[in-house]
A and B are shown apart, each in its own frame.
Chain A
Amino acid sequence: EAQVTQNPRYLITVTGKKLTVTCSQNMNHEYMSWYRQDPGLGLRQIYYSMNVEVTDKGDVPEGYKVSRKEKRNFPLILESPSPNQTSLYFCASTQGIGTYEQYFGPGTRLTVT
């Protein structure tokens, strides 16, 4: 089954404790991205990657890091989480940037206290 998986689905952590949210897709997609969703603000793109070892900033990259060492995986790293990073995070992948539908993961609800 074609899918995007994310782990963990729920995470409560404390300020400053490094964390990684994993994302994996099994569709051989080249393009992957991370979004955060906040009430009243919709979805905002954090980072995206057009291929292995190619990443670029989205609209709200501050406080986040990503890496793309393999085509299927695109982890999101919060080196020093802060309460304003409490949000619902989605990973997505697509066959090609902009011209194809995006497949979304189930989401990771992060709370930083």
Chain B
Amino acid sequence: SQQGEEDPQALSIQEGENATMNCSYKTSINNLQWYRQNSGRGLVHLILIRSNEREKHSGRLRVTLDTSKKSSSLLITASRAADTASYFCATVPSGNTPLVFGKGTRLSVIA
């Protein structure tokens, strides 16, 4: 059962621009995580934000969480061609249950 839904499905921007991806989910959560996947390869964890946090930063990444709207956003600032990848949000529903992934946003950064 997929809980996270990323928006947009695909995004194309110029190098140096900011990229924003959104994730909406349905039930209450313990935490929300963002992962990155280069084409055909394994996913790599980017950042985890807990349900009692509203914003978190890691390098050029900024994640926000609005539990009242059941949504999160991932902002990549000053994008680079190397940021081209698919980005997935994954939610941990409240309770001791496994991570649930969305379908991802495909980001293309054009040099």
Measuring CB to CB, which residues of chain A are less than 8 angstroms from any residue of chain B? 4, 33, 35, 40-45, 48, 58-59, 88, 90, 92, 97-107, 109
Also in contact, A59 and B99, with CB within 8 A (given A42-B104, A98-B92, A101-B33): no
Nearest-neighbor residue (CB-CB) of B95 within chain A? A98
Is B2 positioned at the interface, with any CB of A under 8 Å from its CB? yes
Is B101 in contact with A104, judged by CB distance below 8 angstroms? no
- Nearest 9 CB-CB pairs, A to B? A42-B103, A104-B42, A101-B45, A98-B92, A43-B101, A104-B43, A106-B42, A48-B98, A42-B101
Is A99 in contact with B30, judged by CB distance below 8 angstroms? yes
CB distance from B31 to the nearest CB of A (A): 7
Besides the known contacts A45-B100, A90-B42, 10 further A-B residue pairs in the complex with CB atoms under 8 A apart:
A42-B2, A43-B43, A44-B2, A45-B99, A59-B1, A90-B43, A98-B99, A99-B31, A104-B42, A104-B43
Cβ proximity bits B71-111 to A, threshold 8 Å, 1 near / 0 not? 00000000000000000101010001111111110000000
Also in contact, A88 and B40, with CB within 8 A (given A42-B102, A42-B104): yes
Is B61 positioned at the interface, with any CB of A under 8 Å from its CB? no
Interface range, B side: 20 to 34
Is B60 positioned at the interface, with any CB of A under 8 Å from its CB? no
Measuring CB to CB, which residues of chain B are less than 8 angstroms from any residue of chain A? 1-2, 30-31, 33, 35, 40-45, 48, 88, 90, 92, 96-104
CB distance from B38 to the nearest CB of A (A): 11
A-B contact pairs, 21 of them (CB 8 A): A4-B42, A41-B103, A42-B2, A42-B101, A42-B102, A43-B101, A44-B101, A45-B98, A45-B100, A92-B43, A97-B96, A97-B98, A98-B30, A98-B92, A98-B97, A98-B98, A99-B92, A101-B33, A102-B33, A102-B45, A104-B42
